[in-house]
Structure 1
């Protein structure tokens, strides 16, 4: 790999600036999902085990360069301390004397958490002076926040240019998994891309047709592709003004030898609500007063059959309106097969994106996937083939 990991650096006696993502959901002052905090634990404990002093740099919410008390990271001292099993010392700023004092006060074995980096307007502008002030606080820089790697901010890119640097455990695992999925994958490769709109995933689809052998298009996006083929989709969600773009993607796929799998049968209903009366029809026979809400059983059977012939799977987005029964059945059945093949050692499976994680969790399949990314925007930009500034800055 083209970047250092924690194993490549001597951290003994060093102050380690560690960029993490602990932008967790909260309600009434309580963390409602500890996932992001839990995921940074291995990196922080490894820094401590190697004799380093971890100093955490992080953002929280969108204060837009202003000090917003309810967006202070101080409220995460308790949850962090509990997850790490260590004392967490809070620094009331991410630069300057308040930060330096907190670092100096921390005893061996303590962890330092500095205030929200986005309280400074220079953070999101990747201000060189702010990055230099941050760099003064430490000896080494570690980035463990892949989810923020698509942003060229002072704490994600600027500091990395000023100190010896490495990828944290979570970042390294993410990069390794992504390389296995698209960078240097075992073939054949299948991608499953769902979601509401072609317009939001245009760059993604255009990149994937040149990288994968089989591309499954599901969700509302599939309806737009059906429209592009002259098929009526009734009251279904579809971007009719994107039909020409969808046709161009189909043509490009044909030129490069990528097989695109669109629904051959669909589940339709007149109402979008749980338990609504539904029926299965061939994709070209959606009633004018109905809407397509899921891939049909024949479509899913085709997906599962092709999946069984593949060595690598990358998944972003559900096949239907998975939040509401019975329109979750297509996504569930495909996810269960991916999980089975992965558990059997026949498939390397990597998935990411908010709806994707929720859908795979709902299907009970997430634990069997090779890797689940919670990175959202960074995961999508990587799938689009874009360079991520926070990753590029880590390169040797």
Structure 2
């Protein structure tokens, strides 16, 4: 049973005004929404509430207007895309509080869906200002948060409202929290984490938090070069944070104490320039020349990683293993992703992945839908992996 209240705990909703925080911060170009993934993610919650007779009032932000009304950050232009995904009419209010909101809500009938204007047009949203929270609270009887991607921010519409009215997790928030719990909260062991990406500096908290929670930590991408260099191996022109050698050594020493295996590349695909289809070769990790840079990990390293994935019951993945955006330096990421997907499909692995680059990499490998759960939340997913308390989640606890 989840530790937070979900839509299953809701009372009779007929005629109730339900304020639903959603993430509609979607990519928009040439007058249309170019990717409806985030709308699709929140559709089940909106449709369920509407079916149960609620008046569904959507709150969202769009861009960073910093408390000012910015015309091209209005949510009005995305109403049509929301209607299409929901297959349901959606009305719009020119403000999220005050007379415009009150008038639009007064006209609603049971099952109706209304989208309020950008909450960030008010300075009180990001400040979690009590007066603004109260003004928002006047709009509803019940609060549902379905925006995990904004749950790491203690804003009025993501955290403040939960103190003013009964608060519940929407279906997307519920799925996200349950997936994360199965990934690191109470996982089946052994647990393997793959952490890649360019820089160690952005992921120190993450690496340190994982040492106590996983059985093996695979380090890939540019980050791996910093760890390899910290062991006294020359990485040539590879992307490397030499000033973090001590940090890398500390992490490796801690891993030894906690019994967490650190898996570093044994070989790499190197080139003398960073461009697609650059002349390249595969060399042992201690044979990188001064004018070469490692742009992907090599086949022996992939074999070792897949060996760990094969042993694992749970896999948590954040960040690619190489420069997957340019061929042929995408091969290690694609190979490991396909192997993890195959194990997941066979019911032998729970695989949870998240973070912007990770989602792109899994899409590129064609396996995003084969993982147990892929989080589209960037910052919130990373902070959760770092072991931080997410304000928007903490307030939903029973």
TM-based fold match above 0.5? yes
- The alignment partner of 1:154 has SS state of coil
CA distance in 2 between counterparts of 1:50 and 1:6 reads 11
Q: Does 1:35 align with 2:33?
A: no
CA distance in 1 between counterparts of 2:357 and 2:104 reads 39
Tell me the residue number matched to 1:91.
Answer: 93
The structure 2 residue matched to 1:304, chosen from 303, 306, 320, is 306
Tell me the residue number matched to 2:53.
Answer: 51
CA distance in 2 between counterparts of 1:302 and 1:59 reads 43
TM-score by length of structure 1 reads: 0.99
- The alignment partner of 1:346 has SS state of coil
After superposition, residues 287-326 of structure 1 pair within 5 angstroms as 287-326=289-328
Tell me the residue number matched to 1:187.
Answer: 189
Tell me the residue number matched to 1:15.
Answer: 17
- The alignment partner of 1:294 has SS state of strand
After superposition, residues 352-391 of structure 1 pair within 5 angstroms as 352-391=354-393
The structure 1 residue matched to 2:113, chosen from 111, 114, 123, is 111
Tell me the residue number matched to 1:132.
Answer: 134
- The alignment partner of 2:327 has SS state of coil
Tell me the residue number matched to 2:281.
Answer: 279
Tell me the residue number matched to 1:6.
Answer: 7
Tell me the residue number matched to 2:244.
Answer: 242
Tell me the residue number matched to 1:268.
Answer: 270
Deviation string 1:146-167 (CA, Å, 9 cap, x unpaired) is 0000000000000011101100
Query: Structure 2 regions of 5+ residues with no counterpart?
Result: none
CA distance in 2 between counterparts of 1:96 and 1:5 reads 29
CA distance in 1 between counterparts of 2:215 and 2:184 reads 11
After superposition, residues 218-237 of structure 1 pair within 5 angstroms as 218-237=220-239
The 8 Å contact of residues 143 and 168 in structure 2, kept in 1 or not, is answered as yes
TM-superposed CA distance for 1:239, in Å, is 0.3
TM-superposed CA distance for 1:144, in Å, is 0.2
Tell me the residue number matched to 2:81.
Answer: 79
Q: Does 1:101 align with 2:114?
A: no
The 8 Å contact of residues 49 and 111 in structure 2, kept in 1 or not, is answered as no
TM-superposed CA distance for 1:110, in Å, is 2.0
Tell me the residue number matched to 2:156.
Answer: 154
Deviation string 1:53-101 (CA, Å, 9 cap, x unpaired) is 1100000000000000100001111111111111111011111111111
The 8 Å contact of residues 91 and 102 in structure 1, kept in 2 or not, is answered as yes
CA distance in 2 between counterparts of 1:321 and 1:330 reads 9
CA distance in 1 between counterparts of 2:139 and 2:248 reads 50
Deviation string 1:201-226 (CA, Å, 9 cap, x unpaired) is 00000001111001000000000001
The 8 Å contact of residues 315 and 356 in structure 1, kept in 2 or not, is answered as yes
The 8 Å contact of residues 18 and 143 in structure 1, kept in 2 or not, is answered as yes
The 8 Å contact of residues 297 and 321 in structure 2, kept in 1 or not, is answered as yes
Tell me the residue number matched to 2:70.
Answer: 68
- The alignment partner of 2:62 has SS state of coil
Aligned residues: 396
TM-superposed CA distance for 1:373, in Å, is 0.1
Deviation string 1:302-322 (CA, Å, 9 cap, x unpaired) is 000111011000000000000
TM-superposed CA distance for 1:233, in Å, is 0.5
- The alignment partner of 1:212 has SS state of coil
Deviation string 1:159-182 (CA, Å, 9 cap, x unpaired) is 011101100000000000000000
CA distance in 1 between counterparts of 2:84 and 2:332 reads 39
The structure 2 residue matched to 1:348, chosen from 328, 350, 353, is 350
Q: Does 1:144 align with 2:149?
A: no
CA distance in 2 between counterparts of 1:368 and 1:118 reads 36
